[in-house]
Structures are given as structure tokens and as C-alpha cells.
Amino acid sequence: MNIVVSGAYQTNFGELWNYSLEDLIFESINGALKDASRGKKEIDVVFFGNMLSSSLSSQNHISALINQFLKSNVPVIRVESACASGGVAIAQACTALESGQYEKALVIGAEKMTDFPVEQISYALMNAASEQERDAGLSFVGLYALMANQYIETFGATEQDLALPAIKNHKHAATNKKAQFPFEISLQQVMESPLVADPLRLLHCSPISDGAAAVVLEKNNKKKNNTTKIVASAQAGETLALSERDNFFTLQATEKAAKKAYTQAGLGPKDVSLLEVHDCFTIAELLAIEDLGLYKKGEGFVAMRNGDLQMGGKYPVNSSGGLKACGHPVGATGVKQMVEVVHQLRTKKPLVGLTHNIGGTGGTAVIHILQR
């Protein structure tokens, strides 16, 4: 696979009272096209990742709105895969380009969440869970708390270990102008934040955010100055219900997608120099670095304690601040991860980047590998 990312842009992430969903979409489109030095009419196909616009805003036909904005008749396909909507939209675009039917694809991920009360959002997010999980009154943080408790019990990790990814990601976000929380936090602050679903506290959880991100993908881009390319795109799924799995601390979808991606790229975990990983809750980051093959199952938290995952460490994870500190407008995250990796690769320091985007409790996992 050899798809150039010619343009990459994300809006600010945060509580953006002055921006509607449309505003966010249009800003990200303009930003990505400008970055790619492409005009609206040059795009052949658009993929749009979004989870909640139908349940929260009663808007099911954003696609046509995008046609309106681009003033074109190209196909616009809405992709929904819970929190993996953005990543899956990119994967779909890659498939479309590989098919030879299209040359230039625009992928947008966007979400507007802050217009609604927390209870309602929590309820809408549960659409990514199974019926039994919903009937039990579980919230998303509750599901990840169930995973965290089993991980702690099985491998001897502590509640403090759960705080480490949040502290690290906030440190990274402190220098990210687009981040929702561009400031550091301390262990004490995390441990003193209120319990949401034991053992997960408020500061272990990614926030509710607004934001959008977009990338322009090209099959045959001859421009010399912009060579960042996607060399692998892999998606895998597994059981919707957490309780159906053999254990709750292994996301098989991540494992399978990762293996496929490494094979496609002809690389292994050791070759990856930078990652954007799906830390919807800090436990998810610990599980991800294990499921991606960077560490053995149950050893991720030790690596986190050793500082391996910081910028400048063995495997820098979430330079953007991750979902925790950069923000998590659900449908936008998967695309924003790619935007971040592209910008990092352009600095000429890291060579290989990996994005890891999850839907629900791991029902969907989509991984992309990029090379400078």
C-alpha cells in the first residue's frame, strides 16, 4: 500500500460553543485542502466519520451537506463505527483508492457533543455497547472499569498505574495548541478526582469534546515535498459484548488488526517510532500497548512506570495528548490521530508512525501505519 497523505488538518478540540457541527466540518475541509494545495473540485470521493449526529442532533444526511459545501456531486459516504468511525472512514478511503476507481479522497471525522447534557451523551454513547450492557445501566466508563478491575486483579497493577497515561498525555498536550487541555496534571490531582466508576476517576477519562479533523489522501501524488504515506490499513472486529470474551483485558480486534497491518507494511512493533493510541480511558492505553505487540500481556503498566511511552522514550505514545488531553470528539478522533502522526513525520524525526482507533470496548479496531 502506498497512499500519500497530502493534506492534514484538525480544528481545536474542546467545548466549542461558537461552532456547530457544520462549522467544524467546513473548517476541517478547508484546512486539509489548503494543506494539500488542492481545490474543492479536485476531490473524487469523500468519507465522513461520525457517531452521534443522528441520535443527538437528529441529522442523518450530513453527506448531502458536504456536497453542498464542496459544490460538487462526488459520492460522500457516511461511516459509523462508534468511536472508530474516523479510523474506519480512513480505511474505507484507502480501499476506495486502492480499487483504482478514485484518485483523491477526502476523509473527515467530526463530532459535536457539548450541546447536550452529560446524562444524555452518556446514554447516546451506550449505543456502542450491547443490549444487555445497556439494560444493566452500564455507562462506557463502567465497561472500561470492569476491564480495569480484572487487569489490576490479574497482573498486580495499582490504581496509581492507571493515572500514569493521563499524566503523560497531559504533559504532551501542554505544547499542543489544538488540545482541549493544554496543561500538565499531577498524580495527586488524578487520585483526588471523583470516582466515576470504581476504579476509574474523572481524570482517568477522556472528556466530552467538539472537534473535527480531515485528511486528503492521494493514490498517485507526484509532488516531491510531501511524501508522508500510508503503508498499511487494517481493520478487525470482535464480540460486541464484553462478557462474551475469554478475558476482559485483551482486545482481540487490536491484536488481529495489528498483525495484519505489520504484515502489510513489512514491519514489526520494534520498527514503530511513534504512536497515537486510543486512550478513551487510561486503562485502554495500557491494554493497547500490549495488544499492539509492544509489550507482553500484563507488562504494559511496568513500561509505563519506566517512562518508556513518553516523547523521547522507547515508544512515544500520544504526542497530541491522546484522547485524554487533546480531547475526544468521538467521530473525529481516528482522523485526528492520523493528522498528528503526519505532522510529526513531517518534522523529519520519527520514521514510522502508527494510529490505533477503537470502537466501543474493542468491537472494532482499525490501525494505520505511516512512513515518512
Partner 1 sequence: MASPAVYWRKKKTTFLFLNKKGTLLSFTKINNPPKGFGKQAYWVGIVEFPEGTNQIGQLILEGKEPKIGQAVIGVIRKTRQPNNEEVITYGVKFKLL
240: DSSP letter: S
From the list 324, 363, 360, the residue with the least C-alpha distance to 138 is 360
Binding-site member from 195, 223, 296, 307 for partner 1 (CB under 8 A): 195
Question: Catalytic site residue 83?
Answer: yes
* 126 contacts partner 1 (rule: CB under 8 A): yes
Question: Catalytic site residue 343?
Answer: no
* 199 contacts partner 1 (rule: CB under 8 A): yes
* 196 contacts partner 1 (rule: CB under 8 A): yes
Binding-site member from 198, 220, 296, 349 for partner 1 (CB under 8 A): 198
The CB-of-122 to partner 1 minimum distance in angstroms stands at 4
* 200 contacts partner 1 (rule: CB under 8 A): yes
* 244 contacts partner 1 (rule: CB under 8 A): yes
Q: From the candidates 170, 204, 278, 328, which is the catalytic residue?
A: 328
Q: Which residues between 201 and 230 bind partner 1 (CB under 8 A)?
A: none
The CB-of-208 to partner 1 minimum distance in angstroms stands at 12
Binding-site member from 88, 91, 105, 145 for partner 1 (CB under 8 A): 145
> Could you tell me if 150 and 249 are in contact, meaning their C-beta atoms sit under 8 angstroms apart?
yes
Amino acid symbol at 34 = K
The CB-of-363 to partner 1 minimum distance in angstroms stands at 15
- What phi and psi values does residue 208 have, to the nearest 5 degrees? -90, 130
Amino acid symbol at 83 = C
Binding-site member from 136, 156, 158, 160 for partner 1 (CB under 8 A): 136
Q: Cell 520498527 identifies what position? A: 271
Dihedral, CA of residue 91, residue 95, residue 96 and residue 102, to nearest 10: 110
Nearest to partner 1 of 139, 221 (CB atom): 139
Q: Which stretch binds partner 1 (CB under 8 A): 35-43, 105-113, 138-146, 224-232?
A: 138-146
> Could you tell me if 214 and 109 are in contact, meaning their C-beta atoms sit under 8 angstroms apart?
yes
Burial level of 95, CB count in 10 A (0-12/13-18/19+)?
Answer: middle
Kindly write down the DSSP assignment for every residue of 72-100, as one continuous string. Answer: S---EEEE-BTBTHHHHHHHHHHHHHHTT
Q: Which stretch binds partner 1 (CB under 8 A): 15-23, 28-36, 137-145, 302-310?
A: 137-145
Cell digits for 16?
466549542
Nearest to partner 1 of 130, 318 (CB atom): 130
* 187 contacts partner 1 (rule: CB under 8 A): no
| Residue 37 Rama label (left phi>0; alpha psi -120 to 50; beta) | left
From the list 9, 295, 300, 37, the residue with the least C-alpha distance to 164 is 300
> Could you tell me if 350 and 272 are in contact, meaning their C-beta atoms sit under 8 angstroms apart?
no
Site residues (CB under 8 A) for partner 1? 118-120, 122-123, 126, 130, 132-133, 135-139, 141-142, 145-150, 153, 194-200, 241-244, 248
The catalytic site residues sit at 83, 328
